[in-house]
Structure 1
Amino acid sequence: MRSVHAIHGGSRRGLFTLLTVTAVLSVGACSSQTTATGGTQAGGGKDLTFAVAAEPGQLDPTLANTFTSAAIFDSICEQLYAVTPEATMTPRLAAADPEFSEDYKTATIKLRQDAKFADGTPFNAEAVKTSLDRHMTHPSSQRKTELAALDSVEVQDEHTVRLKMKKPISPGAFSVLLTDRAGIIMSPTALKSAGDNFGNSPVCVGPFKYDSRASQNYVKVVKDPNYYDAAKVQLDSVTYQIIPDSTIRVTNLRSGDIDVIERIPTTDIDTLDGKSGTKVIETKGIGFISLEVNVGNANGVGKPAKVDGPMANDAKVRQAFELSIDREALNKVVYNGRYSVACGFIAPSAALASEAATKCPPHDPQKARDLLKEAGVTTPLKVSLVLNNTPEFGRIAQALKSMVQESGFDLEIQAQESTAALAATSAGDFVLYMNSWSGRIDADANITRFAATGSPSNYGNYSSKKADELLTEARSEPDLDKRRELYGELSTLLAEEVPMVYLIRPSFYTGVRDSVQGITAQPNGIVDFRVARTAG
């Protein structure tokens, strides 16, 4: 990660108001995009405004399924463990690293004794058990797959929990088990009071606590005096301002009306890094942008069923589509070559990477046409693509449309607001879905949620007994070399069946005003405001 400092400059509030109105008109948002900072200008005092690209959706850690929700939770809902900028696990609500039994089927976790929830409820082992049990058993839980390896949670004493695993678990797989939303612990008092409405006003442990929200507009969090490290928190509030249009985000950062922005387009990096009073933080990514194929979602996620159509019924057609894509050209056209191509769920820099896991299918339009002919498909074959209506995804879709046309595909682009796109995909109303995954520090979390039978994030309802066996075996294997071999075998299987097409492995570029200091970012792009501060 790097940070390049710049000079100060830029205009302010009037331009923000004009541009946010323009953003509403251009992206079809259903509410005006005014700030929620109580009249305090961005960049002044201790109120910070962070422009995010999408509506967060659910703010219930058990039910949430968007990147923006994870970004907000980082400020208000801490996990037992966190991920450092160096992509390692570190204790957060846990007091120390887990202690494993000799058979790797039990992990004992000591807890902090100085933490309280935002509502004053004590943080203890019973609270941990309540939250983890809810993550595992709630009918609509998005955490079930993430905790698939966990059998039960036992309270050993007030500040110690023992996690019983269904099978042995590798320390690597365990490292991601409780560092994402599945590791978030919620106030048992608030859960009992709010039930399924918990997400309307979430209560957890964090440097900030939930304050207010306007759908499609903003979420505001304020400093929590109950936080165990409250003395280190310098900001009074952070407002997550929803601005889908990256051009508007960039312009408002330059003007000084926004303090921090996520997902800087690669075309704007050079204009921000060291100019207009801004700097750029680069974080090398471990996630990917991909296309999920509907191979079995006719009745909703988690209910594999027969789906009509060549893409669903014939792997040769899916292979042909993948062979139609020139990943290197896609990276150059859309991202100025600043990202890298993605050929699988494991980043080449990962300890579990292998030739089999990172092998990329060649761009071969002629072979693609031959496969379509073998499959008996009449060309051009119309294929629809559902995607979020962001400029970035729009550029990818247009580039793909041009590429695959040469091989005999007619790509129909269906851009929708992010929550609408996700709802359509979950219901099975898609052929292809463009998805992005910010990445986790172990391979298990980068593939199980997308390929395991019944996973709530397996939108295409891909179901393979062999894949499920390999996922389970790799998760349970403590030996690194054996895990690498298993993931290589799984990668080969997925390359043949093509339930997903991997496209790009992004880096994350965060734009920051010179007046903001103390910003850090995780390898998944989430920005940490715990020790951030602003100068007038």
Structure 2
Amino acid sequence: MRVFMARVLFVSLFLFISCGNNDNSGSKRVEKTYSAADIVNGGSLIIGTTGEPDGLNPLTAHSKNAKDAISLIYRRLADINEDLSTFSPQLAKSWHFSNDSLSILFELRTDVKWHDGEVFNSDDVVFTYNMHMNELLGWEGYSYKETINRVVAQNDSTVTFYFTEKTPTLLMDAVEGYILPEHILSQIPVEEIESSNFSRNPVGTGPFRFSEWKSQQSLTLTKFADYYEAGKPRLDAIVIQIVPDNINLYRQVLSGDIDFMESVPAGDFNKLLAQWDDGDSIIKPYNFLGRGYEFIGWNLIDPENYSNVMEAAGDDEPNLEELLKPHKLFGSWKVRAALTMALDRKTIADVVTHGLAVPMHGPIPPIMWAYDPNANSIWEYDVEGAKEFLGDAGWKDTDGDGILDKDGMKFSFEMVTNAGNEERKQALTIIQQQLLEVGIEMTPRVIEPALLFGRMLPTRDLDAALLGWSVGLKMELTPLFHSSSIFIPFNFVSYRSQEFDKLEDAAKSETRQTIAQKHWNGIAKLLSWELPYSWLYYKTETTVIHSRFKGVKVDKRGAFINMEEWWIPFEERSDHDMLAEN
């Protein structure tokens, strides 16, 4: 084992050396069909990413890079399938609902070990639930557990989740979150868990175990020999290589030093796609509707007034009616509708994503079961219509300078976005020009993420923001639009509607999907009409993977969903695969 580990670590030293067997040039690609009998173990996967994980503890990590690595180290009770409504067993081998549908009994596997050799059992499940509910940790999936009353272990291999009410997502709520090692984390005071060594030295039950973390360089995971699925994982090691420069990262993909890259720039992806279709590339492109969408959020309340009222309230609950004084520009529905009509969203998407996006007109993304395109109010690109709506709202160009004004105030505002996202910076420039056509002066402003997400969104200190959200797998809009979320950063537009609250509360509690669909359609119609956001487009994910990897599955859940099944034929192995084996 020590010899193998040394060889794996030796491989990481050669990641910047061009591997001849991976060169993306030369003769036409020849593809071979393999069967289950051809599957062999061994080899390694080099994943390229531009950012370092913010930890490997599922309770406290937030970044996508961290979550991707975590998905290889840990396991849930059950994992969601591609249809986003059914589940496949993981640590639980089966489950049964009670007659009243207010509890679920899970039968756990008895052949599962933690990476340190300890045996997994029901105590780990109960402990994990308690950690999920602990307010000191602030686990980001807390909302999944709100209808769970308690979790009880009947014995080492049986555990029951009890619920306070029936909802259509009881199973999803129960299995959300990776199971944690009680024998390790129970020894650490809760307030010290986030800063503990566990975040950089994790122990899970997944197919790959943590091996080494070189800060700002690489993260190495190696095959867990006692993984409960026989013969898996197929690969010996996965190395996550950190390359801060996206351009350099893509170059390393082309040279063969990196096997796997997500979020490939759209222009480069399209070129690679054409090469693949022509048989001129050994790097396989995957594009699919993922979980990210882009939008403009309009602050519906006056930022200065919000700050003054919150400061005056101190530790007391502020008066909502005083707090939610309408924004001077975006408090008007006619103005928000006009701004939406002024945006040529197709042009924005085509230019920024090179056509790798689909239009989005409302709050429910197309990958979700509740999506119904006919439920949205559609605001077509209409410059003259936008001007008419603005005129109806009292905005005229009284001084002939090309910028609308009203009561001595220019229609001028800032739109912010986060630094480090070139697509959004480009989109801001296009939006600026489009708004100018209807007499609106928009000043783009790029903000460092820590300032934008850490202060400006929570304090509502902005006019409008061009951002993107990543969709969860549960049909829920509470954090973004429910009045109960009026003080949290996700609802930074400060949207509040009794009609929305009533519809979503009904949709989330309805166990009959056909009835729930009617409620979600009502929500889509309401929000796409009232326009707290101007939805822009839903992004197509662009991932590339070296074609020597077989058994690869990529869908709307992402590209990390079955890496334990990836394998490499002997005749297609690369130089760094050979180094790992010799």
TM-score of the superposition, structure 2-length normalised? 0.75
Q: Is the 8 A contact 1:37 1:49 kept in 2?
A: no
Aligned length: 495
What is the distance in 2 between the residues matched to 1:208 and 1:396?
Answer: 39
Q: How does 1:131-142 map to 2 (within 5 A)?
A: 131-139=128-136, 140-142=138-140
User: Does the 8 Å contact 2:299/2:327 carry over to 1?
Assistant: no
Secondary structure at the residue paired with 1:232? coil
Q: Does 1:404 align with 2:404?
A: no
Paired residue for 2:372, among 343, 354, 373?
Answer: 354
Percent of pairs identical after alignment?
21
Contact 1:208/1:221 (<8 A) preserved: yes
Which residue of structure 1 lines up, in the alignment, with residue 13 of structure 2?
39
Q: CA deviation at 1:216?
A: 5.4
Q: Please tell me whether residue 126 in structure 1 is matched to residue 120 in structure 2.
A: no
Are 2:133 and 2:145, in contact at CA under 8 Å, matched by a contact in 1? yes
- Contact 1:82–1:91 (CA under 8 A) maintained in structure 2: yes
Change (3 A) 1:234 1:381: same
Match of residue 280, structure 1, among 272, 282, 285: 285
CA shift digits 1:64-122 (9 cap, x unpaired): 33333322221112222223345453334343464333443323322222222223333
Change (3 A) 1:384 1:434: closer
Structure 1: runs of 5+ lacking an equivalent: 1-34
Structure 1 residue 478: Cα displacement: 1.4
* Partners of 2:565 and 2:521 in 1: CA distance: 40
Distance 1:496 1:124 in 2: 50
Q: Note if contact 1:245-1:390 (Cα within 8 Å) is conserved in structure 2.
A: no
* Contact 2:416–2:447 under 8 Å retained in 1: no
What does residue 310 of structure 1 align with?
Answer: 328
1:142-176 alpha-carbon deviations (Å, 9 max, x no partner): 12223333333222332222222232111xx3464
- Per-residue deviation, residues 177-220 of structure 1 (Å, max 9, x unmatched): 356xx421111233224423343433322112334445655443
Q: Does 1:384 align with 2:415?
A: yes
SS in 2 for 1:502: strand
Report the CA distance between 1:307 and its aligned residue.
7.5
Q: TM-score scaled by structure 1?
A: 0.80
Bigger shift: residues 73-82 or 340-349: 340-349
Which of 173, 177, 183 pairs up with 2:173?
177
Q: CA deviation at 1:256?
A: 0.7
2 CA distance for matches of 1:424 and 1:318? Answer: 25
Aligned 8 A contact 1:64 1:142 in 2: no
416 and 448 in structure 1: CA distance in 2 versus 1, 3 angstrom threshold:
same
TM alignment of 1:308-457, pairs within 5 A: 309-310=327-328, 313-348=331-366, 350-355=368-373, 357-373=375-391, 374=393, 378-416=409-447, 418=449, 421-425=452-456, 427-428=458-459, 429-444=461-476, 447-452=477-482, 453-454=484-485, 457=490
Structure 2 vs 1, CA of residues 264 and 336 (structure 1 numbering), >3 Å: closer, same or farther? same
Q: Please say if 1:95 is aligned against 2:100.
A: no
SS of the equivalent of 2:349 reads helix
Q: What residue in structure 1 maps to residue 565 of structure 2?
A: 531
In structure 2, give the amino acid aligned to 1:533.
W
- Residue of structure 1 equivalent to 2:39: none
The alpha-carbon deviation at position 50 of structure 1 amounts to: 1.2
Find the counterpart in structure 2 of residue 20 from structure 1.
none
The answer to whether the 8 A contact 1:51-1:240 is kept is yes
The question of whether the paired residues in 1 share the 8 Å contact of 2:370 and 2:475 is answered with yes
CA 1:333/1:418 → structure 2, altered by over 3 Å: closer, same or farther?
Answer: same
Which residue of 542, 552, 561 corresponds with 1:509? 542
Which residue of 507, 519, 541 corresponds with 1:486? Answer: 519
| 1:271–1:200 Cα change, 3 Å | same
Cross-structure match for 2:73: 76
Q: In the alignment, residue 518 of structure 2 is paired with which amino acid?
A: E
SS of 1:60's partner is coil
Greater C-alpha Rg = 2
Please give the secondary structure, in 2, of the residue aligned with 1:268. Answer: helix
Partner of 1:516: helix, strand, or coil? coil
8 A contact 2:78–2:92 mirrored in 1: no
Q: Residues 245-264 of structure 1 correspond to what in structure 2 (within 5 A)?
A: 245-264=245-264
Q: What's the CA shift string for 1:268-326, capped at 9, x where partnerless?
A: 233223244211123333542233444578579x9985478435644444333333322
Using the alignment, how far apart are the partners of 2:283 and 2:292 within structure 1?
26
In the TM superposition, residue 474 of structure 1 has moved relative to its aligned partner by 1.0
How far, CA to CA, are the matches of 1:328 and 1:262 in structure 2?
24
Q: 1:418 to 1:478 in 2, by over 3 A?
A: same
Instruction: Describe the shift of the 1:325–1:156 C-alpha distance in structure 2 as closer, same or farther (beyond 3 A).
Output: farther
Instruction: Report if the CA contact (8 A) 1:47-1:236 is conserved.
Output: yes
Q: Distance in 2 between matches of 1:371 and 1:216?
A: 51
- Label 1:153 to 1:515 Cα distance change in 2 as closer, same or farther (>3 A): same
Q: How far apart, in 1, do the equivalents of 2:230 and 2:445 lie?
A: 45
Partner of 2:24: none
Could you tell me how far 1:463 is from its partner in structure 2? 4.1
1:291 paired to 2:296: yes
Residues in 1 aligned to 2:450 and 2:65: alpha-carbon distance in whole angstroms: 11
